Structure 1
Amino acid sequence: MNMDKDRIIEIGESINTTPNVHTFLAKQAEIKNFIAVVSGKNNSFYEAATKINITAIFAPEQLKGVIDSFLKSVKNDLISNASYERKIQINVVNDYLAQAEDLLDKKEFHPSTSAILIGASLEEFLRNWAVDQNLLTEETKPSIDGYATILKKEGLIDKQDHKEITAWAGLRNNAAHGYWDLVSDHDKISHMLSGVNLFIKKYST
């Protein structure tokens, strides 16, 4: 899910209440889900919220302290969905997409060449994202669709994102398998490139 800062703060403040013993577990789940949606599970805030035990004397106050600190970090622009390592990986992916654009502009190269590179860039972006969120398992299919499916399951991308990713994966597969007539339209591959660029930009913060 992609939300702007004001919306994140609005939602966070709406759930920022001190629970009692009867509502603690529900509030803990709500706060954990909120943190995971905003910045993933691989961060100290999510870990802190998870470790608070309902049997602790000051458990409600500790839980409220976590969401207080999280919202303060959001307000100070200290929260990002992307880890430092992933940001470096995103820069590499963007370099690949720039190469794909250069190839697409050169008439001596078939559009399928760019389609393959765009698809590879998208797959790498999705894989790195899934790794960053500790989502990969032995059952995860190492493919664009495999990574997109687990990201959608976690609520990190929406139904429309998944639909577009599936279409892009189809173009990449057509190019990789030599179905040249299906990937010979320059405008179609250019549209693919623009879409993937926008998608990565949307989920790189």
Structure 2
Amino acid sequence: MQLEDLIQRIDQLIQKADEVLQTVEGNLYDGLSVDSESFYAFRSASLSFLAMTFGKDHTHYDEFNSKASSETPYHTQIGCSILSVAREELAGGWLATTKGLISAEIFSDFLEMAQHLLDEGYKDPAAVMAGSVLEEHLRQLCQKHDISTEITRQGRPKSKKADALNADLTKKQVYNRLDQKNVTAWLDLRNKAAHGKYQEYTEKQVSLMLQSLSDFMVRVTL
């Protein structure tokens, strides 16, 4: 699927949210609600799109799944807002999942791509991309060392967060506690970039992250 198709699809989902909001009924005293069938059709289609495009481990998927969960105007508006942010990232070329990068076939080396973005002055997408590379490396390290990458909640498997993978790898002595602290710091920087907290880190910090991450991945190999 091309970028234009992704943007067109997310525009359709945002339009669906607007249509759901047109079904509002009730009052402030008794509570407002939207048409249940329309809301859950919108929710299902949106989750499917976010999982396919960004992955189920991405912030957008997690936030939509948890915060746009019931048939109310508020939850519908929250879902629409998350889709709008995702659209901005797509339109700006910030699709930084491993799957998206492979499909685009832009760079075979993801860290090289992140460094290229940083060199061009785009520290924020560079940080997000480097974080995606790190998280994928952690998952593959877990698979190599027979560490589960999933937990079961309410009878359903769910992917572990990167912080949990980091802790598990340290417990199994795949790397030491100093490495764990560094990984935690890199993940924190990635999360700040992904959540739009662009003023809380500098271009120099992203540069150091890329250098250190590259060294870490060479030293702690798959």
With structure 1 as the length reference, what TM-score do the two structures score? 0.50
Give the equivalent residue in structure 2 for 1:15.
Answer: none
- Cα distance change, pair 94–164 in 1 and its aligned pair in 2 (3 A): farther
1:187 matched to 2:201? no
Give the equivalent residue in structure 2 for 1:147.
Answer: 165
Bigger relative contact order (CA 8 A; separation at least 6): 1
Q: 2:177 aligns with which of 143, 159, 162?
A: 159
Give the equivalent residue in structure 2 for 1:106.
Answer: 120
CA RMSD of aligned residues (A): 2.0
What is the CA–CA distance in structure 2 between the aligned matches of 1:138 and 1:123, rounded to whole Å?
14
Q: 2:142 aligns with which of 97, 116, 130?
A: 130
Identity of aligned residues (%): 31
More strand by share: 2
- For 1:195, the aligned partner's letter is S
Give the equivalent residue in structure 2 for 1:200.
Answer: 217
What is the CA–CA distance in structure 1 between the aligned matches of 2:149 and 2:136, rounded to whole Å?
16
**Contact persistence 2:139–2:149 (CA under 8 A):** no
- Cα distance change, pair 94–155 in 1 and its aligned pair in 2 (3 A): farther
Q: CA deviation at 1:146?
A: 1.4
- For 2:200, the aligned partner's letter is L
Aligned length: 110
Q: Structure 2 stretches of 5 or more lacking a match?
A: 1-106, 152-157
Any residues of structure 2 matched to 1:1-205 within 5 Å, and which?
95-107=109-121, 109=122, 111-136=123-148, 138-139=150-151, 142-183=160-201, 185-204=202-221
- Larger of the two Rg values belongs to structure: 1
